[in-house]
Structure 1
């Protein structure tokens, strides 16, 4: 399995760019934006990726399990601000934020403050393997979940029977063992899916999805996504950059402004040239209820991940589709254009690669793929 990254790279969390002899603005821009998928070095075998805005944590699962960091801190060596060296051997799962690195071991959970020089975790808990489930799926931990902000630990009712949990910028989305979806937190952008824009302090079921079993959930900065058992994709929340895959006024206007000069030279406008009434297109700024999005007409969705304002989905046929904000090349289409419709990333198809997983950082995307010949054998 090979991992690729594209998007925001200002801290070399994707790759270390070779320095040009000429220190000009173009070379600096090249370091920040990676709009073509680049294979991560020394990243083979079974592994997971976790990403924050400025960092990447790579969890290696073969043989001696361990975590390696890339990005911010990796090049910092001054005494006033240096990371604590953490022993990650035996780690089974990890998540990283701008302030904390959380590690799950078979017998314990450790949360390390990356801004502290202390050689002990800022928070930890033991896992009693005889009485509790040791198969931790971060940010879920026995009895609750880990937040990227203080307080680190938040309790959850055992009645929820949580299977997985995703944390957005200001909200959370939880999937139960029965396939039900709960959300809570800030709801000002419709990211909770309850039809309103008010916050919820406690987990509340998304009633629009009641009776439909879901198998995975994901959360962006201000939007939410889930995949049904049948491979259907449901989205809700903020659509300012097209991250829901629904028509975005801002993106459509920008596209029209680019094409209108040429069209105007020919006939002025569609309505005056053809003598037809102009139909007002419906734009979605906030989708407060779950909406069904067709990513690929002939394929089911295998997995999905959300960045701050972009979304990426992998189909059961091994194709990667991305949409939303693309300013840093995080959509992988070799441009920095934003999209409000899912589009296949042709790079993997052209390289005969079958995509098996995707993980979005806030402004970048990481994808795991294997050669199609390997699948055939």
Structure 2
């Protein structure tokens, strides 16, 4: 299986900019490379009758931000970074971070890299990865929760680097947006807090919330996963249904967007020259547009697909179905939707590249303006 990337490549975080054909926009999925070797070194195939291999079997994981991509190597227990670097001469290089040797997980931001180990969590300024950590937390017992979760709280990419959570919240996963946080508890309850300026908290208003508050609109519906975009939020129910809320300016919720329709009607190429997919019509001669969706809304994907993985970028969303298909929607100016053109869409669209190449998508990770997908061959026997 291998990782593929598409979308914003301004700092070579998908394809090295030194390569002649590499540009700022990667419109079709490209297989990733890392330190002269493939990202995702495990080559796995399967028969059609066999169950899909879980994404956890891949020996690498991707973490992404606006200007960088971090690869967490599970087998060697270290991290390498591609994209923007402190030194312009190294901007196209994939750089190993020796200090992360033996790490179990990592979290990358625009300024800081955080890594968790069996006995500690450490955070470094990316401009000085060879220096001492700017923050460290000693662990007294093995904690299996994925970053940014930490014992009793969570790591944060800005000071203060550690923030506590109420002890009664048994956190299972935490996703950080630009100005808000979405937490999934062990019993499937979703909590949100932070800025609510675009309805991204799901509490029915645009008011901020300083402390974690359960999303009442999802009460009684156990959730299995959560994700946070720039100013929108997404979660998957235990049954594979997708719920969305927050800002929909670029169609990132998969709901009708007035902005996209206006651009299409006036022949505008959209933001920075992108083509636009017209919004859906609701009823004959009438249209309903959603700018802010302050309550969770159920989003139906084509063919009533059941969702197993999803991720959010700044203003786009991606979801993987149980059948191994990838759907994307929202802002697509840099090709982050993977449809071969810089276009936006307020409807979930199937990324046909993987199907045409006989690939089954297992996982998806969104950077702010790009997307990374883990895929394996669909129809062949295990080697």
Q: Which residue of 2 aligns with 1:273?
A: none
Is 1:217 matched up with 2:222?
no
* Count of residue correspondences: 344
- What is the TM-score of this pair, normalised by structure 2? 0.86
Write out per-residue CA displacement over residues 62-92 of structure 1, whole angstroms, 9 at most, x where no aligned residue: 2x221111001176459xxxx9954222111
Distance 1:87 1:243, change over 3 A: same
Write out per-residue CA displacement over residues 156-194 of structure 1, whole angstroms, 9 at most, x where no aligned residue: 112100000000000000000000000000001000000
1:237 pairs with 239, 246, 264, which one? 246
Write out per-residue CA displacement over residues 15-45 of structure 1, whole angstroms, 9 at most, x where no aligned residue: 114555xxxxxx7xx6110010000022123
Is 1:366 matched up with 2:372?
yes
Q: Which residue of 2 aligns with 1:337?
A: 343
> Which SS does the other structure have where 1:160 is aligned?
coil
- What is the TM-score of this pair, normalised by structure 1? 0.87
> Which SS does the other structure have where 2:262 is aligned?
helix
- The structure, 1 or 2, with the larger RCO (C-alpha pairs under 8 Å, 6+ apart) is 2
Is 1:103 matched up with 2:105?
no
State the alpha-carbon separation in 1 of the partners of residues 222 and 166 from structure 2.
20
Q: Which residue of 2 aligns with 1:204?
A: 213
1:321 pairs with 327, 350, 357, which one? 327
Write out per-residue CA displacement over residues 88-126 of structure 1, whole angstroms, 9 at most, x where no aligned residue: 221110010001000011111001112347711000111
Contact 1:84 1:116 (C-alpha < 8 Å) held by counterparts: no
Q: Which has the larger radius of gyration?
A: 1
Distance 1:171 1:101, change over 3 A: same
Structure 2 unaligned spans of 5+:
43-58, 269-282
**Structural RMSD (CA):** 2.1
Write out per-residue CA displacement over residues 317-351 of structure 1, whole angstroms, 9 at most, x where no aligned residue: 00000000000000000011100000000000000
State the alpha-carbon separation in 2 of the partners of residues 236 and 226 from structure 1.
9
Give the drift of 1:297: 2.5
State the alpha-carbon separation in 1 of the partners of residues 66 and 23 from structure 2.
15
175-184 vs 38-47, which moves further: 38-47
State the alpha-carbon separation in 1 of the partners of residues 103 and 379 from structure 2.
32
> Which SS does the other structure have where 1:366 is aligned?
strand
State the alpha-carbon separation in 2 of the partners of residues 60 and 172 from structure 1.
27
Q: Which residue of 2 aligns with 1:124?
A: 136
> Which SS does the other structure have where 1:208 is aligned?
helix
Q: Which residue of 1 aligns with 2:32?
A: 40
Q: Which residue of 2 aligns with 1:113?
A: 125
State the alpha-carbon separation in 2 of the partners of residues 148 and 88 from structure 1.
17
Mapping for residues 115-264 of structure 1, pairs under 5 Å: 115-116=127-128, 119-129=131-141, 133-258=142-267
